[in-house]
Amino acid sequence: MTPSILSAEKLTVEARLADGRRLSVLSGIGFALEAGKVLGLVGESGAGKSMVGRAIAQLLPPGFGVTGGSLTFGNRDLVHMGADARRELLGREIAFIPQEPLSALNPVMTIGAQFGEHLARIGTRSKTRRQGEALALLEAVHLPRASELLNQYPHELSGGMCQRVLIAMAFASRPKLVIADEPTTALDATIQARIIALMGEMREAYGAALIFITHDLRLAAKFCDEILVLYAGRAVEKGKARELLSAPLHPYTRCLQLAAPSLSAPERDLFTLSGEMPGLARLADLPGCRFAPRCPNVGEICRTQEPRLTPVTAPLGDDPSRKAACFRTEMTPGIETRSHAASSRHERSSPLLLLVEGLEKRYRSRRGLFANTELAAVDGVSFTVAENEFVGVVGESGSGKSTLAKLVIGLETPSAGRIELGGRDAFDRSEAARRRRVEVAQMVFQDPQSALNPRRRAASIVTQVLEAAAPRLSASARQRRAEELLAEVGLPAELGARYPSQLSGGQKQRVNIARALCATPKLLIADEIVSGLDVSVQAQLIALLRRLRHELSFALLFISHDLAVVRKLCERVLVMRHGKIVDQGMTEVVFGAPQHPYTRELLAASSE
């Protein structure tokens, strides 16, 4: 057996609570990573996957610490190593690739200054040699005009370019181990695939072992040699990547697989896993399997005894390393979803709700002192949405899709063109027209964290519209409406008394949707409302929107960069690029037999 670069045995990380109790955040994590191999750590937020990376760097949040087990790097003990010795390793032998490339570079230092600092630290003394090395590395990650780049600041670069710079920096010292924590989550789909390919290329060229932390099981299966699936701080399944994805043995892995929408698989419902990952404080109250409260196959034993990660014979393939922490693995393949019922499809004869014609939005950008250039964010866009129709808008960031949403809802004023909502001109700038527009259309914003007023309780947030629409409404009537709305989005009434900070990410997004539904709009405009959420939460929200569509019969303009989600939810799709609609039609047709080269490019990038 080849010696491993990094091995973890029974690694345990504990958090100390304010009341002195200790909670295990990670427990009994074990793996061995050989040189040149890629290990995937897969799980949703709260699973503890990032904690592994932080334990390796010993940069755990305050109050957290490694309390058991071992982490061995080469022959060095990472757990009991002094802070200075470990700092010596970081950036030299162990390198990190971050999640948010745009904010991971210092905004007031040039790329060259940051690169130079790193090269100086890892031992390149002369300034001219540092310059040369930086240029060579930037070219190795396929960045054009590398010498210009060195004098630029991070804000002048795109997210993908920043990530390339950070990848170049990570590999500069020829590290033995590179840890990439969700390196593509913040990037556009078309760029994601290229960054993943680049990491693979660099790993091969520089011979490093890689830990790839991600929430995306399918992506991990493509990129990694071995996968460790984590749930609530426990390793629930381990095995060779392809075998693990093709035949998951742990119910959680199976559910993750079924919850992710796909571009190629035959139409089927997404699996909606009930509930959510238990938070730190609730972990102590789970005596048995941590997944038991949500598990579709839960049995008596699961609630009292905790299963250990033990070798299991997989039904397919021959993977001797395959392990799962479940008492009833034989039942896992039985978890299935219904194949898709055609009933939810929209009837094409519905009356027209939204008409957009020749819509344009131009921004003036100032360059230098006098020169003005005009930039068309939305450039001659025409489309319609019928009543109760779900229409998706896809495109890369900067394609103008968010601006389009703002124009339709009236947050931005069009430079030219016509918008008709419910047969009436919505372009009118009068107060009465604005009120009419608000009655017909509502918007759900992307980030519930910033869209919800942190000083208001959920019940008050969801009924916010009533303050203007029905100022004389009694408090009890408003409370009743709040409870109705919360029930509609599948939240218990008692959550109405909570502040946004006391809600989970999925709950916040439900509140965000409930608020838009309060005035029973005919058109809902949703800007990336499922991006950045865990797959199981995403599947829940997609199911929610589909259910509400039948119950409340509204139309949806769904803006997203995720083609698979759009395919799942919308019967019609508009493909935007540089402010123009380049392709449109029924989703199955546009995605199934793409005609436009750009659509093909988007699809290829997404299914990589």
Partner 1 sequence: MIVQLLGLFARRLLVAIPILFVVSALVFVVLRVLPVDPAAMSMPPNATKSEIEAKRQEMGLDRPLPEQYAIWLGKTLKGDFGASIHFRRAVSSLIAETLPATIELALLAMLLAAGLGFAGGLLLFHWRGTWRGEAADLGSTMLMSAPDFLWGLLFILAFGVLWPLLPFTGRLASSFARPVHTGFLLLDTLIEGRLDMFLDVLKHMLLPATALGLAFSVPIMRVLRSSLYEIDHADYIRQARLRGVSEKRILLRHALKNAILPTLTLMGVQFGFLFGGTLLIEVIYSYPGLGNLMVDAVRNADLPIIQAVALAYAAVVLVINMIVDGLYLVLNPRLRAA
A 10 A CB-CB count for 461 gives: 22
103 near partner 1, rule: CB under 8 A: yes
Binding partner 1 (rule: CB under 8 A), the pick from 10, 21, 80, 87 is 87
- DSSP 8-state secondary structure symbol assigned to residue 575: E
Of 603, 554, 550, nearest to 575 (Cα)? 603
59 near partner 1, rule: CB under 8 A: yes
User: At closest approach, how far in Å is the CB of 164 from partner 1?
Assistant: 15
Q: Taking each helix axis as running N to C, give the angle between helix 159-171 and helix 189-206, from 0 to 180 degrees, rounded to the nearest 10.
A: 10
Measured distance CA(221)–CA(112) in Å, rounded: 35
92 near partner 1, rule: CB under 8 A: yes
Q: Which element (helix H / strand E) includes 211?
A: strand 209-214
User: At closest approach, how far in Å is the CB of 92 from partner 1?
Assistant: 6
User: At closest approach, how far in Å is the CB of 170 from partner 1?
Assistant: 8
Q: Footprint of partner 1 on residues 110-129 (CB under 8 A)?
A: 110, 117-118, 121
100 near partner 1, rule: CB under 8 A: yes
98 near partner 1, rule: CB under 8 A: yes
Of 429, 440, 426, nearest to 469 (Cα)? 440
368 near partner 1, rule: CB under 8 A: yes
Backbone angles phi, psi at 442, to 5 degrees: -135, 155
Q: Which element (helix H / strand E) includes 433?
A: helix 431-440
Q: Which amino acid is at 492?
A: P
DSSP string, 474-511: -HHHHHHHHHHHHHHTT--GGGGGS-GGGS-HHHHHHH
Structure tokens belonging to residue 296: 């579709």
Binding partner 1 (rule: CB under 8 A), the pick from 60, 90, 335, 552 is 90
**H runs (alpha helix) in 207-261:** 217-223, 241-246, 251-259
Helix (H, G, I), strand (E, B) or coil at 584: strand
Are 496 and 458 in contact, with CB atoms under 8 Å apart? Answer: yes
Nearest CB to partner 1, comparing residues 206 and 427:
206
6 near partner 1, rule: CB under 8 A: no
Q: Where are the beta strands (DSSP E) in 93-183?
A: 94-97, 177-181
454 near partner 1, rule: CB under 8 A: no
Q: Where are the beta strands (DSSP E) in 19-151?
A: 22-34, 38-42, 64-73, 76-77, 94-97
Site string for partner 1, 310-349 (x = CB under 8 A): ----------------------------------------
Helix (H, G, I), strand (E, B) or coil at 459: helix
- DSSP 8-state secondary structure symbol assigned to residue 307: P
In angstroms, how far is the first alpha carbon of the chain from the final one? 32
How far from 235 is each of 29, 30, 303, 351, 404, CA to CA, in Å? 6, 8, 17, 52, 44
Encode burial over 41-71: b for 16+ CB neighbours within 10 A, e otherwise.
Answer: bbbbbbbbbbbbbbbbebebeeebbbbebeb
User: At closest approach, how far in Å is the CB of 83 from partner 1?
Assistant: 9
148 near partner 1, rule: CB under 8 A: no
CA-derived radius of gyration, the chain = 26
User: At closest approach, how far in Å is the CB of 85 from partner 1?
Assistant: 11
89 near partner 1, rule: CB under 8 A: yes
Binding partner 1 (rule: CB under 8 A), the pick from 57, 60, 586, 605 is 57
369 near partner 1, rule: CB under 8 A: yes
Binding partner 1 (rule: CB under 8 A), the pick from 64, 96, 212, 223 is 96
Binding partner 1 (rule: CB under 8 A), the pick from 81, 109, 286, 438 is 109
161 near partner 1, rule: CB under 8 A: no
475 near partner 1, rule: CB under 8 A: no
Of 605, 581, 585, nearest to 595 (Cα)? 585
Q: Which amino acid is at 181?
A: D
Interface region with partner 1, contact rule CB under 8 A, candidates 91-99, 127-135, 488-496, 533-541: 91-99
Binding partner 1 (rule: CB under 8 A), the pick from 23, 66, 105, 228 is 105
Binding partner 1 (rule: CB under 8 A), the pick from 82, 107, 266, 471 is 107
156 near partner 1, rule: CB under 8 A: yes
User: At closest approach, how far in Å is the CB of 501 from partner 1?
Assistant: 17
Residue 311 pairs with which residues in a beta bridge? 323
Of 101, 96, 95, 94, nearest to 192 (Cα)? 101
Nearest CB to partner 1, comparing residues 344 and 449:
449
Nearest CB to partner 1, comparing residues 157 and 533:
157
- Locus of tokens 């008709």: 420
User: At closest approach, how far in Å is the CB of 41 from partner 1?
Assistant: 16
Nearest CB to partner 1, comparing residues 164 and 323:
164
208 near partner 1, rule: CB under 8 A: no
Binding partner 1 (rule: CB under 8 A), the pick from 108, 316, 432, 475 is 108
Interface region with partner 1, contact rule CB under 8 A, candidates 109-117, 226-234, 250-258, 539-547: 109-117
On the CB side of 168, CA atoms within 13 Å amount to 27
Binding partner 1 (rule: CB under 8 A), the pick from 35, 60, 81, 104 is 104
39 near partner 1, rule: CB under 8 A: no
Binding partner 1 (rule: CB under 8 A), the pick from 106, 147, 553, 595 is 106
Measured distance CA(30)–CA(323) in Å, rounded: 11
Measured distance CA(299)–CA(315) in Å, rounded: 22
Binding partner 1 (rule: CB under 8 A), the pick from 12, 34, 135, 153 is 153
Are 459 and 467 in contact, with CB atoms under 8 Å apart? Answer: no
Nearest CB to partner 1, comparing residues 366 and 455:
366
91 near partner 1, rule: CB under 8 A: yes
Binding partner 1 (rule: CB under 8 A), the pick from 129, 155, 424, 435 is 155
Nearest CB to partner 1, comparing residues 97 and 258:
97
Q: Which element (helix H / strand E) includes 597?
A: helix 597-607
Q: Where are the beta strands (DSSP E) in 370-439?
A: 372-386, 390-394, 416-421, 424-425
Nearest CB to partner 1, comparing residues 96 and 445:
96
Number of residues that bind partner 1 (CB under 8 A): 32
52 near partner 1, rule: CB under 8 A: no
Measured distance CA(218)–CA(452) in Å, rounded: 32
Interface region with partner 1, contact rule CB under 8 A, candidates 103-111, 297-305, 333-341, 526-534: 103-111
Nearest CB to partner 1, comparing residues 104 and 433:
104
206 near partner 1, rule: CB under 8 A: no
Binding residues (CB under 8 A) for partner 1: these are 57, 59, 87-92, 95-96, 98-100, 103-110, 117-118, 121, 153, 155-156, 166, 169, 366, 368-369
